Structure 1
Amino acid sequence: MVNLLGATALAVTDLLVAGAKTASGTSSSGAAALVLLHEENRLNVTELGRRVGLTQSAAARMVDGLEQRGLVTRRPTGSRWVSVHLTAAGRRVARQLLDSRNTEIAALVARLSLADQRTLATILEKLLTGIHHGVGNSDRICRLCDRGSCLRAGASCPVGQSRRRQAAQVGAHHDARAGEAVG
């Protein structure tokens, strides 16, 4: 089973990365940056790089390339930071990326019965929760996600739920420790 999961994960990753590169005409990091900016426009270069797993200098080069292609612009924020914004073309490409991703995944899942699809969804939610507990970086895990699809029909993103549970546990632990110091 471990080998099957590993092979499936790599094959799905290869499909998604190839689709993202084709849809965006850029690197997988550039594609992820466009999707992130589609969800949260106005990130600074350093934060954008952190979320896609790049150093600040690599992120700056990535943004340079996206800017040269007319997909993003940089705007001063009033401080020493510069925020990155999608252009209209960048928004179109980000939407194409998400549509391409959704089409690829839907084609894979369509081969399963509805009962198998429901079972797979339950298993994937558990796996994502476990991955988040290990990695702890929801932005990195969800860097190519269509975040709106996690919230459709009253659903809830398992990674977001895991993040909120961890934050509540840290807050409760901090409150308990603060009470020990005071009491």
Structure 2
Amino acid sequence: MHERLGNLLGATSLAVTDLVLAGATGAGRVSASAAAALIVLADAPDVGVTELGRRVGLTQSAAARMVDGLEASGLATRRRGEGRVVRVRLTQAGEDTVGDMLAARGAPLADVLDVLDDDERATLTALLAKLLTRLYARIGDADVMCRLCDRRCCVAGAVCPVGQAERDAAGSV
């Protein structure tokens, strides 16, 4: 029984990942890591290149090359911070691109969820929150888990389960 459920969850998660990445990368005309970086920068302006790389799963040198590309495309700018830190910020074109990417990522997800009625949506919301809390316990990094999230919609009228799991974990230390 659990094997079938796990298999269904795996297939669903891969299909959803494919839709999210196709929407974000297509709208932004960037790689998956660059799409994640742009979305991260929308909520964390002036993050350092090394930290940006950590959040999107790149080494410092790969993150620097990615930022080179974002800068060449006019989507981001960098400036020197304290010491050797280089800070990255979206340009207006980058902010516009993030809006396009989040819309393109959200549209197919809305279409998939359209088959559910209101009660099923409420149940799925609660179940996903529970699963995300469990995943946070395994992954332990909200920035990494939410690198492609539309953070504003996640907290509109609700508490982000990943953010809450992080706060709970920090409080228990």
Q: What TM-score range do you get, normalising by the shorter chain? A: over 0.9
* Partner in structure 1 of residue 140 of structure 2: 136
Q: Which amino acid aligns with 2:162?
A: V
Measured after TM superposition, the shift of residue 80 of structure 1 is: 2.0
4+ long deviations beyond 2 Å:
none
Could you tell me which amino acid in structure 2 is paired with residue 51 of structure 1?
R
Aligned residues: 169
The answer to whether residue 124 in structure 2 is matched with residue 120 in structure 1 is yes
Equivalents in 1 of 2:12, 2:156: separation in Å? 26
Q: Which residue of 1 aligns with 2:170?
A: 167
SS at match of 1:100: helix
1:54 to 2:54 alignment? no
Q: 1:116-174 deviations in whole A, cap 9, x for unaligned?
A: 11111010000000000000010010001111112212x0000000000000001xxxx
Partner of 2:11: 7
Where do residues 34-113 of structure 1 align in structure 2 (5 Å cutoff)? 34-113=38-117
Give the distance between the partners of 2:121 and 2:52, measured in 1 at CA. Answer: 33
Q: List per-residue Cα deviations over 1:72-104 (Å, max 9, x = no partner).
A: 011112432110010000000011111112212
Which secondary structure does the structure 1 equivalent of 2:88 belong to? strand
Q: C-alpha separation between the residues in 2 aligned to 1:4 and 1:144?
A: 22
Between 1 and 2, higher relative CO (CA 8 Å, sep ≥ 6) is seen in 2
Which residue number in structure 2 is paired with residue 180 of structure 1? none
- Measure, in 2, the Cα distance between the counterparts of 1:14 and 1:82: 32
Q: Residue type matched to 1:157 in 2?
A: C
What SS does the aligned partner of 2:61 have? helix
1:5 positional shift: 0.5
Q: Which amino acid aligns with 1:118?
A: A
Partner Cα separation in structure 1 for residue 15 and residue 89 of structure 2: 32
Larger Rg: 1
TM-score normalized by the length of structure 2? 0.95
Q: Give the distance between the partners of 1:43 and 1:104, measured in 2 at CA.
A: 30
Query: 1 CA distance for matches of 2:32 and 2:109?
Result: 17
Q: Distance in 1 between matches of 2:90 and 2:151?
A: 17
- What secondary structure, in the 3-state scheme, does the structure 1 residue paired with 2:156 have? helix
* CA-CA distance at 1:64 after TM superposition: 0.7
How high is the sequence identity, in percent, across the aligned residues? 51
Q: CA deviation at 1:27?
A: 0.5
* Secondary structure at 2:149 match in 1: coil
Matched, 1:156 2:159: yes
